């Protein structure tokens, strides 16, 4: 009889734990990002000028301690906060595979040079911190 009561208690505990897990994972899906991940919130492109496209994107990131929102392989990513503070942009590997990275003279951004000579210039506007999310409201892309 004691064994049966213990078995029912164990089964009840397992069901409660499972329900808590399901509810928690559902909340993560509905608005919270997993730690160390980013998502693009807005992306606007302006191609009104010949041979030039300006893109502005806003990203939302949930970075771990010591990290901050940045760019890796042309995508928003959590990077070492030291890179952002020192403006050593190329250390976060912002360019695509096979492209060369160079800092702009005033350290306001970087250029990615493709093997064919095409250059993409990225500059950063004012950055804002909103509820622990680091947002880059102004990624300018010159192609």
Q: Give per-residue pLDDT as tens, 10-48.
A: 655 656 555 555 555 555 455 677 888 888 888 888 888
pLDDT greater at residue 50 or residue 140? 50
pLDDT at 35: 82
pLDDT(139) > 70:
no
> Per-residue pLDDT for 86 more than 60?
yes
**Measured on CA atoms in the order 103, 72, 78, 135, is the torsion positive or negative?**
positive
Q: Where are the chain's structural domains? A: 1-32, 35-138
Using the predicted structure, report yes or no on whether residue 116 has a pLDDT greater than 80. yes
Kindly report the pTM of this predicted structure.
0.60
Q: Please give the sequence-ordered ranges of beta strands (E in DSSP) within 8-143, or none if there are none.
A: 37-49, 52-62, 67-72, 75-80, 100-103, 109-113, 119-124, 128-130, 133-135, 139-142
Which of 26-30, 55-59, 96-100, 122-126 shows the lowest per-residue confidence on average (mean pLDDT)?
A: 26-30
């Amino acid at each position: 009889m004691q064994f049966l009561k213990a078995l029912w208690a164990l089964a009840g505990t397992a069901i409660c734990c499972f329900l808590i897990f399901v509810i928690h994972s559902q909340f993560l899906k509905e608005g919270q990002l997993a730690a160390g991940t980013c998502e693009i919130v807005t992306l606007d492109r302006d191609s009104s000028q010949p041979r030039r496209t300006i893109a502005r994107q806003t990203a939302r990131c949930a970075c771990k301690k010591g990290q901050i929102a940045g760019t890796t392989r042309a995508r928003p990513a959590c990077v070492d906060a030291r890179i952002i503070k020192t403006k050593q942009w190329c250390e976060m590997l912002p360019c695509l595979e096979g492209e060369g990275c160079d800092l702009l003279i005033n350290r306001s951004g970087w250029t990615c040079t493709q093997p064919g000579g095409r250059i993409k210039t990225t500059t950063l506007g004012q950055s804002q911190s909103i509820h622990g999310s680091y947002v880059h409201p102004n990624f300018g892309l010159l192609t």
